Structure 1
Amino acid sequence: MKINFFSNVFIWLLLIALPEMVFSQSTDFTIQDVKFESQGITLAGSILQPKNSFAAVVIVHGSDPVKREMEFAKHLAKEGIAVFTYDKRGVGESGGVYVGPSVGTNNIDSTNLNLLAHDANVAVKTFRTYLKDKKTPIGLVGFSQAGWIIPIAASKNPQIDFMVLFSCPTITTLEQLRFQFYTNGNNSFWENHTEADAIEHTRNDPDRYQFVATDPKTYLNTLSIPGLWLFGEKDIQIPVKLCIEQLNTLKVQGKPFEYTFFSKLGHNTSSSNDTAPVDIAVQWIKQKALDIKKNKASK
């Protein structure tokens, strides 16, 4: 009884001494809660570290008021990828103000996109200090709206080695809105419309809002890091074929960008029942991390 009592007291004292460390039930990785400062506010997240990680990623949110993406992060961690996922500003335990349509504000205004990109870059800097191996390649993985945020962040941060973008636009913010208004949330949209119709409207429809557009190509043109986009053909949030057209132009210019196209999927390529997009992303990260390590070792 005494042995058990003192053992329990020791464990209890250890937990008090390490209030931010929480070990997952899985023996494959640990979970550590972390807070960091960005533009005067405190953001809160979790770092998942496998015993042996070959790469590390910071998760960048879509447009919704999203807390840390723990299930997705755990999936990556089990594959040997260290992950930092945090509550979006103004959401969960993070301070600041959430900007988005649900509260009547414009979350794709360039000011907000640049602010979110700054948050991502501070997260990368913070994450780097926690990694066991400081030479671990680190990248950004994001969804939807992250298609504008990640290129901004990567163009300003030489610590970022690669990027993975699920259902992310390569068109301007205003063009995306034109397409979104055209589809109007209709899941049967592609049964009655052609790609030519969609591209025509995306390029030429009058804008319902007036604000300075953000063009991700402005930032992608400055990048030389590898990138992978994963698209669903039935997407009604972004015009996939037009986005691929833009990527092909960048590829011809020598950019190390790749994409994969899933004919049966829509906008949620990272969270559908079909695990192929995430599986492909994991294998791609493994290969790119290996290439990056080789390149750094040869210099």
Structure 2
Amino acid sequence: MRHTLPLTPQFYVTAPQPCPYLEGRMERKLFTALQGENAGALNDSLSAQGFRRSQNVLYRPSCADCASCLSARIDVAAFTASRSQRRTLARNRGLERRATSPWATEEQYELFRRYLDSRHADGGMADMDVFEFAAMVEETPIRSRVIEYIDKDSRDLAGVCLTDVLGDGLSMVYSFYTPDRPKDGLGNYIILDHIDIARSAGLPYVYLGYWVPGSQKMGYKAKFSGLEVYFGGQWQKLKNPEGFEPEQHPLGNDPIAEQVANIALPDMAQKRR
């Protein structure tokens, strides 16, 4: 008997677990599988509605009493580098960009481990082994690239970003970099370089993941001009990050069934023709 994948994606919700960004809160995620010949169309559609990809899963926060995690993207046409960001570009002129297929290497994993041990030793990825790292990089059913940043003099690997190519932009799935250059702003530089890649490719957006008001580790995203957040079912320009007040109320979020009903899906049958 031949089994086929359902044309309509099935959505599920994770069990509550401690929020990694806001102390004392619990998080849940709404998610669906990303697979089959229509994976690219589904990824494009749901990314435009605040979802993120992790391997072959698309997810977005669906917490019962908090809406602080907001999907963020940069409008490339509206972006202008600040003085600080121009200095970051200048400090990293000695790096060379190299785009490759999504294959994991030992050099990448070694840099990944150093990055985690230095910056996220108690995070959810702290125990990730080389096989899990390879799965994170290589298990992608869509068009993805590994963008490497190489020191021109030493030829050492300084930074890496796993990047998805969407219909309307670049999605920075996960980036990491050497902890040996703390003053160079490598994390910000990788974002700035992705803005340049998107601009040269004629793509309007760079998707950054989630911005969380009140979370210090996410604060850097609000420093990019042209930033938009997905809030209230639509993308909105973030004009005043310090004064942004997300909804935090037990009745502030729609029930799961309503959230799923309001998700716009691509015409899978049309895509199959």
Question: TM-score, normalization: structure 1?
Answer: 0.28
Mark the structure with the bigger radius of gyration.
1
Q: TM-score with structure 2 length normalisation?
A: 0.30
